[in-house]
Amino acid sequence: MRPIDPSLVAPEAALPIRPGPPGTHITIRGLNKYFAGKPLYQNFDLDIPKGKIVSVFGPNGCGKSTLINMIAGLIPIDSGSILFDGKSRAQTKVGYVFQNYREALFPWQRTIDNIAYPLKLEGQSSAQVARRVAELVASFDVKFDLHRYPYELSGGQQQTASIMRALAPGPEVLFLDEPFSALDFEMTLFIREKLQEVFLQTATTMVLVSHDLEEAVYLADRVLLLTKRPTRVAEILSYDDPRPRTTDTLSAPSFIRTKAESLAIFQREVRR
Ligand SMILES: Nc1ncnc2c1ncn2[C@@H]1O[C@H](COP(=O)(O)OP(=O)(O)OP(=O)(O)O)[C@@H](O)[C@H]1O
Ligand SMILES: [Mg+2]
């Protein structure tokens, strides 16, 4: 088939949506969301880059969870458009890691069956499922017994399993809503590093909500700072220190600068 000559196509037909800059994965245009008659997002635009980790940070109740839930298709938008490489949500495979791992895993299934669940749902054969689970076990370096039920595992182990389940089908985008907030410090550090390792292996686009600014910056390629509601983008900061980032990163001047800049923007928005 011959390519269409762009000069023959009306601009609005050729470009129904203003595209993001090169490397954009998710384009959000004219998004509106109201709760109880009050605007949360009004005519909201955002570009999320592909193969990067975007940390979402902002005041309490500004709509961080609602934003990722709308993008992930867990809650409806009132109007506007959200596209993934030009595709709809229905045509896109996504993974989601919930804050509350206790409610996320099915208690009646062994942990390994929880992880395998989305693969079985896709109709994969037992052999394919076993192969994929083995890959995940290797990449997460799992040391605990996956044949136990979730309630027999520690919080960190359960959240590890939740992340494995979310990644099992190879999602294009992984959403994480405060995935560390119910974990103790040691587990937080452990899973943070696992997440970074997986990102280095797979370059999966990740959108991470975090209420811990240090963590948000540490993991991020971009820090998305939101205002109070009605919510707008306050600023998007780039943070480009090489990976893997380590504890040394925390004292790198670029890290300290990005964190201070994020904090200043956050405080400006909270006081506004
Ligand atoms: N189902 C709902 N019905 C009515 N209001 C809602 C609903 N869900 C969220 N809201 C309101 O929308 C706003 C944004 O909520 P959301 O949970 O997205 O914020 P958040 O930034 O994730 O907050 P937090 O920092 O507490 O996690 C809040 O004011 C909240 O009360
Ligand atoms: Mg939230």
Could you read off the pLDDT of 193-223 as tens digits, one per residue? 989 999 999 999 999 999 999 999 999 999 9
Coarse DSSP helix, strand, coil percentages of the chain, rounded to the nearest 5 percent: 40, 25, 35
Ranges 6-10, 13-17, 68-72: which has the least confidence: 6-10
CB contact at 8 A, 215 and 133:
no
CB contact at 8 A, 238 and 222:
yes
Find tokens 């998305």 and name the residue.
Answer: 224
pLDDT at position 10: 47
> Domains plus CATH for the chain?
24-92+173-272 (3.40.50.300), 101-171 (no CATH)
Ligand nearest the Cα atom of residue 228: 1
**Three-state secondary-structure class, residue 220:** coil
Mean pLDDT of the chain: 93
Report how far Cα 112 is from the mean position of its chain's Cα atoms.
23
Cα 56 to ligand 1 centroid, rounded to whole Å: 14
pTM: 0.92
CB contact at 8 A, 162 and 175:
no
Average pLDDT over residues 32-39: 97
State yes or no: pLDDT of 150 exceeds 90. yes
Find tokens 């017994």 and name the residue.
Answer: 145
Ligand nearest the Cα atom of residue 33: 1
**Structure confidence by residue, pLDDT tens digits, 66-88:** 999 999 999 999 999 999 999 99
178 CA: nearest ligand 1 atom: 27
